[in-house]
Amino acid sequence: MSYKAGPIYPCNPATARSESTKLGVDPKGEKLIYTNGRAVIIRDLNHIGLAHAYTQHTQTATVARFSPSGYYAASADIAGNVRIWDVTQAENSLKLAIRPLSGKINDLAWDGESKRIIVGGEGKDKFGAAFFMDSGSSCGEIAGHAKPITALSVRHQRPFRAVSGSDDNSLILHTAVPFKYDKMINTHNRFVRDVAFSPNGELFASVASDGNLFFYEGKTGEVKGQVEREATSSLMACSWASDSSKIATAGADGVVSIWDAASFKSIQSYTVGSDIPSQQNGIVYANPNTLVSISLSGTLNVFDTRESSSTKWRTLQGPTKAVTASAISASDDGKGATFYAGSFDGTMKKFDIGETYGEREGQCENVEGTGHSARVVGLSANDKGKVWSAGWDDKVAAIEGESFASSSLPTKAQPSAIAATPDAVYVATSAGLEVQQSGSSSTLVSTPTTAVAVHHGSNSDILAYSSGKTVTLTTTSPQATLGSFEDNRGEVLSLAFSPDGKYLAAGDATGRIVLIDVEKKETAISSKWTFHTGRVVTLDWAKSGKRLASGGLDENIYIWDTEKQLKNIPIRNAHPGGVSGVAWSEGSTKLISAGADGIVRTWTIPEL
């Protein structure tokens, strides 16, 4: 039986302080292209569900650009590889794979005919290269810099020209074709961050860490002028409007400015913020009226330049780091759900899931308030509208709707998992098992525990926890041990009760899933569910109690059935880097997952 991949809800671009983030846009001005980790994301600016992820890079991707024809994309990574692939088909068939540089590629640019590509970065013997997109054979050289190239642009009209900017503070103009050194331009006194030819080819511009924006004649490189800026903060990126009349810049002071190319004067500016996360790292003119910038925090800001107000814009959210924990919480009316995803950096995002949201389904927003400052290791919904989270900052926090509760609870040691009921919160830590109940904390077990699960009963909770390879079942009131099981071959990392409390699933570090019959207090399945080749870190039961979804660090998701134990449905290579969370969103056929790629994916899985 085959599964069907549904819409994906993408991660936002990866950002780094004092580095320009490269944003690209398709020729129609409808889709952004950017990178995060090994993934290249194509994201529709107006429709949430029309995102696409290209995950064929084996190294961290650094830059991606659409060809001017709109049929291909070129993406590059930290190892110097460039992949050119078809964007018109979902399969993204590969046109060319080539390694023009021996180190990290910082930028690439297409020529106006979609035939040639130039790249620049941190090679060992050279900092740039030029080649044909179909054969990979050289079409000149990008040379003359003493330090790595940070930005490139190609004039799209004949006679072709190329300009490169570098950490050696200089620009170099190249004639073409073939590309060869023409002259060096030394207008900046700090690192060059971005260069861009105007769409009509008459001018090109450069921005740098010295805070200056210079304009040059497109064919000769003669300096035409510079803008007068009061601020001296770095300019990180620039992008021309499609009519070549104005250019936008992104500043490290959190200001996005639009400049007139004829008078060199500012005609509009937006102050995104003055704090460090609001620094603007990249910018692109998507279409004549839409400008998109990226903040250091990873937030995409979408400006409508027709809007007279300089304080109104919309934002696009998404995880920027690996998702390390997730949970789903059904809405009060039972028609929709909220999927919470906690990341390696402690940030928390929430996604609207369910057809009741219509076009807004999949919309991502930040969970506001004071959450975690380090990796989120566990999330658990208590079925009363509250979601509890545990993090490596040794804290347990509660999320109610849009934001974190005002206070958090400390743990005695580093948490590894969390399970919540309406009355209590159980936390597995390196020092034992803690229970947080009505404001007080007590220790139930004093040996290190790695996983915990709870089934809420009317009189007593049934609790399962693991220490090493041993799973122990207990009741909470009165506190009594029901049994212990040692069928797992590795350290147990995930536990999950079926909704009716009949079964307990235990996933371990060897990839084995053991099924325990709670009523009979015996092992129901010990060696049939062993298809994972890596650590099983997440388990979730469908509401029917028949189907179990598991996710592991082997990048795979498996669907198991208690009535058809010898069959399974594999979803292979679901998340590059590993799966960290799975949850059933509707019945027993709709699944949602998250992983190390920061992407939330949806799946439709037929009955076995």
* Cis geometry, peptide bond prior to residue 178 (ω within 30 degrees of 0): yes
Segments of the chain scoring below 50 in pLDDT: none
Residue 1: the pLDDT is 56
Give CB contacts under 8 A, 24+ apart, made by 124-131: 126/101, 127/101, 127/166, 128/101, 128/152, 128/164, 129/100, 129/101, 130/162, 130/176, 130/178, 130/179, 131/98, 131/100
Residue 607: the pLDDT is 83
Residue 485: the pLDDT is 95
DSSP string, 62-90: EEEEE-TTSSEEEEEETTS-EEEEESSST
pLDDT digits (tens, 9 = 90+) for 68-88: 999 999 999 999 999 999 999
Q: Can you tell me which residue has the tokens 């992008």?
A: 239
Residue 333: the pLDDT is 65
Residue 334: the pLDDT is 62
The C-alpha angle 319, 320, 321, rounded to 5 degrees, equals 95
Give Cα separations from 416 to 26, 379, 385 (angstroms).
43, 11, 23
Residue 70: the pLDDT is 95
The domain spans of the chain are 10-234, 317-409
Which CATH code fits 10-234?
A: 2.130.10.10
pLDDT digits (tens, 9 = 90+) for 161-215: 999 999 999 999 999 889 999 999 999 999 999 999 999 999 999 999 999 999 9
